[in-house]
Amino acid sequence: MKEVLLSIIGAGPAGLAAGLYGGRAGLKPLLIEKLSPGGQVLVTDWVENYPGFPDGLSGYDLIEKFASHARLFGMEELSGEIEEIQPVDGGFELSLSGGEPVFSRKVIVATGAGPNKLGVPGEEELTGKGVSYCATCDGPFFRDQTVAVVGGGDSAVQEAVFLTKFASKVYLIHRRDSLRAIKILQDKAFSNPKIEMVWNTVVESIKGKDGVESVELFNRSEGRRWELKVDGVFIFVGIRPNTGFLKGLVDLDENGFIVTDDWMRTSRPGIYAAGDCRSKPLRQIVTAAAEGATAAYAVEHDLAMQE
Amino acid sequence: MKEVLLSIIGAGPAGLAAGLYGGRAGLKPLLIEKLSPGGQVLVTDWVENYPGFPDGLSGYDLIEKFASHARLFGMEELSGEIEEIQPVDGGFELSLSGGEPVFSRKVIVATGAGPNKLGVPGEEELTGKGVSYCATCDGPFFRDQTVAVVGGGDSAVQEAVFLTKFASKVYLIHRRDSLRAIKILQDKAFSNPKIEMVWNTVVESIKGKDGVESVELFNRSEGRRWELKVDGVFIFVGIRPNTGFLKGLVDLDENGFIVTDDWMRTSRPGIYAAGDCRSKPLRQIVTAAAEGATAAYAVEHDLAMQE
C-alpha cells in the first residue's frame, strides 16, 4: 500500500494551494483527483478578481499556473475517486475506485462543490440536451438562439451577461423582485439589450423531446402561469458541497459543508478541509487558496508536534 | 468632511484586496496609507509562494499588480496616518495627522505588523547604523562583510540565506538548539557554506561607535559569554501588530492582534480587520488577500442589510 504523510483530495485552487504549501514544507503531498486539475474554476469563463492579475485571465490559465506552481515544489498526483476514508492506526486508509488504497497520516479535503438542481420535471431528462449548469461549457452551442437563465446571484447574472455573446436573447428568470448579485454585475445585466428580466417567477417544468423547447413558468406575485419558448436553460441556483463520502466522519453544517476551526481542522483530528466544500462566508479563488495554504501549514505544524 | 461608505486603513495585500473587492462591489472604497502601497511585502526580497506565480516575483512587483488591480475597480487613495477612530452616529470619524478628518460608514483595518525588537543595549542607538530589520533594504550594504542574523523562524532563515548573496559570512544566532523554520529553508541554510549556526545563544548587547562592531553573546546551555566581531546585525524575532490606535475600541488578543469572526468582523460593529494585524494561524500574502476580500464582502453584505 502506498504510504504518504499528506493526501489532498481535489485539485481546485484549494487543493493546489495546499499542494504548493505542503510541498514547500517538504511533506511530498499526494494530490488525488478524479479527472484533471481545475474544479469549479474551469467552468468560469474569465477570472477578473484573483488579486495580482489586473488584466484578468481564463479559469483554465489560472489553474495551469496553480498546478505548475505546486508541481515545482514536489507535489505528486494520483488519478482516482475516493470511495471511503477509513480511520486506522496512525492515520487514514483511503479507498479509491479502480486503484490501490493509500495510507495517509493526514488528509486535506478540498473536494469543492457542484451546482444545485431545480428539481423540476424535464430537468434531468434534458440535461446535456439544452439544460446546462455551465455557460462556459455550453454557451457556444446557442449562437443566435434564445435561452433562459435561472437564478439571481452573482453566477446567474455573470453567466447571463456572458451568454449574450452567443444567444440572441437571454431571459433572466428570478423568483424574487430584485437580484442578489453585486452591483457591478446588475449594472451590466440591466444595460444589456439582449437580457430581459422575468421577475417573481419560478420554473415549474422544462419541456422538449430531443432538446429543450420551452419552460413552464409561474409568476408568484400575479399567480400567472405561462409557457416561454427557449432553446436552452442555464441553471445557477447555488451550490452543494461534494462531501457525501464524509458523512459520519466529520461534522458538517446543515447544508452539508464541512465545519472547521481557524486552522482548517475538522472535528476529526487528522482531517482538514479547504475551499468551497468548507462552511464559510465567501467562496472565491483567493479564499480557497488561502485555506489550502493554511490547511497545509496546520498539517505541518500538527505532524511536528507529534514527532 | 469627506464622507465615504468604506475606508480601508493600510495598503498591504490585505488592504489592496479589500480595495479590489470593495471597488468591484461598487462601494468606492477609500484606501488610507501612511506612505505608498506595500506593507511588509516590500521588505520581502522574492515571493515564491503566492499561488499563481510559479516563477516567483519581487515583493515590489506583486504589490504593484495588487495596487493597479484595485485601482481598476475604482479604489481611491488618501495619504495620511490615522490618529484616532471615533465612533459617531451611523459610522466613524477618522482623524488623520496633518489632514482633514474622514467620515466612514464602515472601516477595514489592515495595518499589518512590524518587527519585534530584541530590547538589548545598543539596538536602538545603532538602528540604521548596522542594526536592521530588513535584509532586502540593507543587505547590499554588507558586501564582503560579516553579519549576524538573530532568530530561528522562516524569516530569519530565509533572510540569512538571502544575505549570503552579499556578506562573506553570516552567523545565524538562535536561542534554541533547532530551527522553527520549514524544512526547505533549513536545508538551504545548512547546505550554505557561508552560514554558520550559533545554537542556544542569545544576544546580550550590540556594540559599536558609529556603526556595529560586535555583539555580546551568551550561550545558555554552556553558560559561556563572548564577543563576536560583526559589521551588521539583522533581527528577525517575530512581529507585533500595528494596532495601538485601536485599544479600547475593539477586542485584541494577548499579543495585541485583532480578534474577528469568520466574516472578519471585530467586536465593534462596523469595524473589520484583515491581514497580519489579525489574530490567526498563518501570515502569508495569500491569507491576507483572502481576508481583505472577505472583509469587503462582509461590508457589502452588512451595508445591504442596513438599507
Annotated catalytic residue, options A61, A137, A187, A251: A137
* pLDDT computed for residue A134 by the predictor: 85
**Which ranges constitute the DSSP H helices of chain A?**
13-24, 59-72, 135-138, 154-163, 183-190, 285-306
Out of B62, B65, B282, the one facing A293 most closely (by C-beta) is B282
* pLDDT computed for residue A43 by the predictor: 65
Mean pLDDT of the region B120-147: 91
Q: Name the helix (H) or strand (E) containing A55.
A: none
Q: Which residues of chain B neighbour A53 with C-beta distances below 8 Å?
A: 52, 65, 69
- A164 three-class SS: coil
Is 60 exceeded by the pLDDT of residue B307?
Answer: no
Report the CATH fold assignment for A2-114+239-306: FAD/NAD(P)-binding domain (3.50.50)
| Amino acid, res. A282 | L
User: Chain-wide mean pLDDT for chain B?
Assistant: 93
* pLDDT computed for residue A208 by the predictor: 97
Q: Which residues of chain A neighbour B286 with C-beta distances below 8 Å?
A: 17, 286, 289-290, 293
Chain B residues with CB within 8 Å of chain A CB: 13, 16-17, 20-21, 24-26, 48-54, 62, 65-66, 68-70, 72-73, 182-184, 187, 262-263, 280-282, 284, 286-287, 289-294, 297-298, 300-301
Q: Do B282 and A300 touch (CB under 8 A)?
A: no
Q: Which residues of chain A neighbour B62 with C-beta distances below 8 Å?
A: 52
Q: A242-248: which pairs have CB atoms within 8 A and are 24 or more residues apart?
A: A242/A10, A242/A111, A242/A112, A242/A113, A242/A114, A242/A277, A243/A109, A243/A111, A243/A277, A245/A82, A245/A83, A245/A84, A245/A85, A246/A85, A246/A109
Q: Which residues of chain A neighbour B297 with C-beta distances below 8 Å?
A: 281-282
User: Chain-wide mean pLDDT for chain A?
Assistant: 93
CA distance B78 to B30: 7
Q: Do A289 and B284 touch (CB under 8 A)?
A: no
DSSP B258: B
Among chain A residues, CA nearest to B279? A262
| Phi–psi pair at A20, nearest 5 degrees | -60, -55
Q: Which residues of chain B neighbour A187 with C-beta distances below 8 Å?
A: 26
Percentage of chain A with pLDDT > 90?
80
Among chain B residues, CA nearest to A59? B52
Q: Where in chain B is the domain with CATH 3.50.50.60?
A: 2-114+239-306, 131-235
Q: Do A280 and B262 touch (CB under 8 A)?
A: yes
Out of B48, B262, B290, the one facing A286 most closely (by C-beta) is B290
pLDDT band at A48 (very low <50, low <70, confident <90, very high): confident
CA distance A63 to A214: 36
B/e letters for A188-219, b = 16+ CB within 10 Å, e = fewer, are: bbeeeeebebbbebbbeebebeeebbbbbbbe
* pLDDT computed for residue B138 by the predictor: 85
Is 60 exceeded by the pLDDT of residue B245?
Answer: yes
What is the least distance, in Å, from the CA of A288 to any CA of chain B? Answer: 8
What is the least distance, in Å, from the CA of B282 to any CA of chain A? Answer: 6
Mean pLDDT of the region A35-51: 78
Catalytic residue annotation of B: 134, 137-138
- CATH number for the domain running over A131-235: 3.50.50.60
What is the least distance, in Å, from the CA of A301 to any CA of chain B? Answer: 10
Q: Which residues of chain B neighbour A21 with C-beta distances below 8 Å?
A: 49
Is 80 exceeded by the pLDDT of residue A7?
Answer: yes
B/e letters for A256-271, b = 16+ CB within 10 Å, e = fewer, are: bbbebeebbbbeeebb
* pLDDT computed for residue B224 by the predictor: 96
pLDDT band at A38 (very low <50, low <70, confident <90, very high): confident
What is the least distance, in Å, from the CA of B250 to any CA of chain A? Answer: 20
pTM of the model: 0.84
Q: Note the pLDDT tens digit of each residue in A75-92.
A: 999 999 999 999 999 999
* pLDDT computed for residue B298 by the predictor: 94
What is the least distance, in Å, from the CA of A74 to any CA of chain B? Answer: 11
Q: B17 with B290: CB under 8 angstroms?
A: yes
Q: B278 with B260: CB under 8 angstroms?
A: yes
CA distance A37 to A76: 12
* pLDDT computed for residue A45 by the predictor: 66
Q: Do A65 and B49 touch (CB under 8 A)?
A: no
* pLDDT computed for residue B150 by the predictor: 98
* pLDDT computed for residue B118 by the predictor: 96
**Which ranges constitute the DSSP H helices of B55-182?**
59-72, 135-138, 154-163
Mean pLDDT of the region A202-225: 97
> What's the half-sphere exposure (Cβ side, CA atoms, 13 Å) at B197?
17
Known active-site residue A277: no
* pLDDT computed for residue A36 by the predictor: 74
Among chain A residues, CA nearest to B287? A290
CA distance A182 to A141: 28
